[in-house]
Structure 1
């Protein structure tokens, strides 16, 4: 398990390992465009659902972008960790479909 911790905190400029973001895009470029498009559609669907959940029961003049930018500003470290984890998750989804 310490390997995973090391991988999440690795140097993003390490040319041998790379960051979760760079690995996601490497995998995306190598995978079938149909698989990547389908996975991207799932990501957008998930994003749409999250926006709807956040804006539910809010005032009509509610600015979701302002709320999100404020949250990112106040929680930058947590957001960065979650972002890395999501890149790993989404890359894993593509990899799992490569054999199908």
Structure 2
């Protein structure tokens, strides 16, 4: 169970939009420097996860492995994506208030 499950009971009612739309609404209001910095944080996180995954899977097969997992676990991944959008939106808000 994700930490934001209760927010998704009625996806269209949460803050007048979905987690995806709210993330993009928030990001559209912020400076490009902040958005670029947060994007760099995401790329670093992906790089770390790929490095970790390559310890147990062939690096050349990572894309296929990831796509197969996503297809086989669609509902779980979809809920996790919603939680991540909310987490990322929260990070953007936090960065603005620093």
Task: Please indicate, yes or no, whether the TM-score normalized by the shorter chain is above 0.5.
Answer: yes
CA RMSD of aligned residues (A): 2.0
* TM-score of the aligned structures, taking structure 2 as reference length: 0.84
TM-score of the pair, normalised by structure 1: 0.83
Go from structure 1 to structure 2 and tell me whether the alpha carbon gap of 1:33 and 1:57 turns closer, same or farther (over 3 Å shift): same
The count of aligned residue pairs is 95
Contact 1:10 1:19 in 2 (8 A): no
Tell me the distance in 2 between the aligned counterparts of 1:53 and 1:16.
35
Q: Which has more radius of gyration?
A: 1
Segments ≥4 residues shifted beyond 3 Å? 57-60
Match of 2:82 among 69, 81, 84: 84
Q: List runs of 5+ in structure 1 lacking aligned partners.
A: none
Give 1:36's aligned residue: 35
Residues 59 and 33 of structure 1, relative CA distance in 2, 3 Å threshold: closer
1:23-60 deviation line (CA, Å, top 9, x unaligned): 00000000121111111110110011101111125446
**Structure 2: tracts of 5 or more residues without a match:** none
- Which SS does the other structure have where 1:82 is aligned? helix
- The alpha carbon displacement at 1:15 in A equals 9.4
Greater fraction helix: 2
- Kindly indicate whether residue 65 of structure 2 is the aligned counterpart of residue 67 of structure 1: yes
Measure how far apart 1:98 and its partner are: 1.1
Task: Give the secondary structure class of the aligned counterpart of 1:97.
Answer: helix
